[in-house]
Each structure stands twice: as structure tokens, then as C-alpha cells.
Structure 1
Amino acid sequence: MITFVGAGSGAEDLITVRGQQLLKEADIVIYAGSLVNPGLLSLCRKECQVYNSAEMTLEEVLGVMISAYREGKQIIRLHTGDPCLYGAIREQMDALKKENIPYDICPGVSSFCGAAAALGAEYTLPGISQSVVITRMAGRTPVPDQESIASFAAHQATMVIFLSTGRLSELPAELIRGGYPADTPAAIVYKATWPEEKTLRCTVGTLQETARREGITKTALIVVGRILGDGYGRSKLYDPSFTTEFRRASEPEMQGGKETDAAQERSCNE
């Protein structure tokens, strides 16, 4: 079996229990050496063969996987975070399908979750934002025109921007062009959950200056949105005036001094 495993966002103990066990049983591990914490390789058996995919092409990675599979070995393709985000796994899976080789996927903790933890942030605050846009700036890898930073910024949703720290000379202008005011709260999270993690709070207008001052040029996420500010609405889920499937309201919900019909009848199944 070939298994794509999410290594987690950086800290060695943020790999899943399943992923940890798979590494312990592996005969072959091909890991994203530029991003995955090498400490995870200590879980591997001494006889396990380890390959650093940062030094390999897609064809070389596939060559190792296909050859090892035909020899009856257990192969782990270890990706950073969760492989579903910027993991380039689709092309690997499609190539394996053509060879009639089975594979499985073990999810991992994405760095965008690690960044929220580092900031003590909730990406979906009532009355502020109920959506999260995960995206990147166009660079050597293009981005579809309809997915430009400016077009997403027009929604004023929470944005988590990957792979764009090296383009901070352009990013603030695109965010502002899309509709974010320059004083919109923002943050740069460097190596979320790694021992050297660093969180820098700033605004859209000061993103470039903040990164330059701290010497951050890569391996960082950018978070943008009013969820990083202080204001938000109370969640209805635990509001005493809100009836849910599991709890009756203990207080009436008041609007203009009168209990609303909606408060008497509605339920929340969150």
C-alpha cells in the first residue's frame, strides 16, 4: 500500500496517531524535506529507506513508489500539513491510478489551523465573518483570474494566504484594491507550531513593513480580516434565549421589548 500522510503543521506531536503508526511501519518514506519537520523521521525503523522529495522530480518520486510497491513494501509519502492543500498529490494519485496501484490518504493538521491557534483566533466570528478564504498570490504558479486576491477581498471574509510572503510588495495593494481598508487587522505567522514560531500582528497597510522589520521572507502564513479585531456578536449556540435541539430557551429573546416568534419556535442543529 502507498499512503499519503499529512505530517501536520510543524510540531512533531501534531501528526495524527494514525500517521505516527504508519511511519513506524513504513519500509519507504518519501518526505517533503523543505517543509516537514525532520524529527518525525525518528519514528521510522532503522531499516526504513528515506528519500527527500525536495531534491526529486515528480517522475523520480513516482519511480520510487511504483518500484517499492511492486516489491511488496509499505510506502509513505509524507507531506506537510494536510496533503489536500498545496500538496501536489492529485498528479501523484492520477499516475498511480494509471498503474492500477492502490493508495490511501491520512489527513493532517494544516498550518492554517496552527496559525489560528498561535494567534488565539477564531476564523468564523458571528457578525464578522462566517467564511474562510484559503488562497495564494499568483507567482511562478499562476492563479485563475477569477481567484485573484482582489476578487476575494471584495467579500470581506477571513483570508488565510499561503505561499505569498515573498510577494508582500504587491499583496497589500491587491487587498486594498479589493475592498479591505488599509487599517484592517492582519497578522503574519512564521512557522506555525514549530519551536521557532513567531506571530506578528499588524494591519493590511503595514504587512510589508512588518515582515521586512522581522526579516521574514518565507515559511509564513498571512491572515487578514476583522476577526483579528475586538468586536463580534455573541454565538446563538450557547445563548440562554436560544432554543436548540438539546436545550430549551431559559430566557426570552427580546427585540424592542417583545419576545419574538422566532425565539419561541426556531431550533439550532449546530
Structure 2
Amino acid sequence: MELLTLKAYELIKNTDVMIYADSLVSNDIEGLVKKSCIVYKSSRMTLNEVLNVIQRHYNDGLDICRVHSGDPSIYGAIDEQIKYFNEHSMEYEIIPGVSSVFAAASRIGELTRPGLSQSLIITRVPVRTDYIENEDLSELARHKSTMAILLSAARAREVTEKLINAGFSENDRLIIAYKISWPDEMIIETTVKDLEGDLFKNRISRQAIIFAGGVISFHGGKSSNLYNENFKHMFRAGKKS
């Protein structure tokens, strides 16, 4: 709730209809809408049911907020809705949000470091989604870049096996970020070998990110030159020695 953008807050506060993903978004959000707002919880709705609700209220000239968790561009399942809106010439706007990946980074620190990892890989272990061979976790992990592994807490054993196959050691550090920004959030430091056990011990099987590689698992790198007194750029002259 506290990480809603100002734009999202204003739209939700004034909307006539709100459909929100109640399995991932706190029901406290219902306290933001006006009394006359019609509220739907989408966790038990199919795509067609959601679209029918949107179409009906859109035809009535009402403002509608379809509220997803985090940033809708990352595993948000919004493509199908966008396609429908375009096919039916419906006006819409996508409001960016704060992904749980970056909310978690505010707890664990910077995810990139010069000389160690200048890339961030956001991925998942497929369960019911299509398997893409060149995006297999074993292949991505070989880069040793910082990785945020989403939607995979229930597949911890597979995550461990794929990290080992990619050259990680059993004692390499991992971080579990659970329900970030919720009252019961947890940050758990673990290792490749202890990942499954720590998830089980804390009864975590969903709403968690597993951070691995890069600045999480490995040592080294160096400080950024950005504010080094000898480093010049278009806004500042470097100090002459």
C-alpha cells in the first residue's frame, strides 16, 4: 500500500470501479476508494469475467481501475487485456508501479556493483508456463550476474539443482525476500544448500523472491566512480592532481 505511486493513488481514490488482484494486493486498498465505488476481487474470476465487467462499466461511461501487484509489466498477465482493449477501441492507460524486486532491493542494498555484476536478470522457474530452453535457469545462472528469481519458491529443490549445475557452490549466499512491504515481510539470508530447508522452515511457498549470483553470492568488485573527485562528467569537472 505505502508503495503506491501518487498517480495510482489518485486514480484509485477517484475511480468508479476497481478490480484488484486480491491474492497479491492487500484488501486495505478498499479503504482508499470512495463509498460509491464498485469493487471486484479478481482472484476467483476468469479473464473473460474480468473483461466482461470492464466492458460493461466502460459502456456506462464509468472510470475503472484494474489493479495488479507490483509493476504490471513484470509477470503481470496484462497482454490479454491490452489486446482486448485495442480490438474494442477502448481507451486505457498503464500506470507503472514498484516491482517487488526493487522494493526488496531497498532492504538488501544495491543489486549492481562495478567489476562484479553490471546486470540484473529477472526470471522464474517455469511451472505451468512454456519452457524456453535458452532461458533455463542453469543457462542464465552461468553469467554469474545478480538474479531475482520470482514465482519459484515452491520449486526450491529445482532452483538449487540448477544453480549447482551452473557452477554455484553449496555455500554460496542467497537471499529470500518474502512479502516485501507487507507487515509480515521477511528477509532471510541462506545458502544454495539450505534454500529448500529455510523456505520450508518459514512456511514460504509463494510471494517470495530468491536473489542469487552477482552482488548477493559473490565477493569483489569496486566502488562506483560516479562521485569520485577525480572522475569528470558533463555535470562536474574532475579534480586535477
TM-score range, shorter chain: over 0.9
The alignment yields a C-alpha RMSD, in angstroms, of 1.3
Q: 2:113 aligns with which of 120, 125, 133?
A: 125
> What is the distance in 1 between the residues matched to 2:229 and 2:165?
41
1:98 is aligned to 87
List per-residue Cα deviations over 1:72-122 (Å, max 9, x = no partner): 000000000010011100110101111111110111110001111122x11
- Counterpart residue number, 1:30: 19
Hey, what's the Cα distance between the residues in 2 that align with 1:90 and 1:69? 19
Question: 1:16·1:108 contact (CA, 8 Å) conserved in 2?
Answer: yes
Letter in 2 for 1:174: K
The match for 2:140 is: 152
Work out whether residues 120 and 148 of structure 2, in 8 Å CA contact, stay in contact via their aligned partners in 1.
Answer: yes
TM-score by length of 1: 0.86
2:24 touches 2:69 (CA, 8 Å); kept in 1?
A: yes
Deviates more, 1:138-147 or 1:125-134: 138-147
Unaligned runs of 5+ in 2: none
What's the secondary structure of 1:85's corresponding residue?
coil
Aligned residue for 1:65? 54
1:8 maps to what in 2? none
Aligned residues: 240
Report SS of the residue matched to 1:174. helix
Native 8 Å contact 2:112 2:214 kept in 1: no
Q: Would you say the 8 A contact 1:158–1:227 is kept in 2?
A: yes
Residues of 2 paired with 1:86 and 1:221: CA distance?
A: 13
2:190 is paired with a residue of what secondary structure? strand
Task: Verify: 1:49 aligned to 2:43, yes or no.
Answer: no
8 Å contact from structure 1 (residues 184, 226) kept in 2:
no
For the pair shown, the structure with the greater C-alpha radius of gyration is 1
Aligned twin of 2:3: 14
Q: 1:247 aligns with which of 202, 221, 236?
A: 236
Q: How far off is 1:230 after superposition?
A: 5.5
Residue 251 of structure 1: CA displacement? 5.1
The SS at the match of 1:20 is helix
Q: AA paired with 1:116?
A: A
- Look up the equivalent residue of 2:60 and give its one-letter code: E
Is 2:76 the counterpart of 1:87?
yes
What residue identity is the alignment partner of 1:206?
A: D
1:101-116 alignment, distance < 5 Å: 101-116=90-105
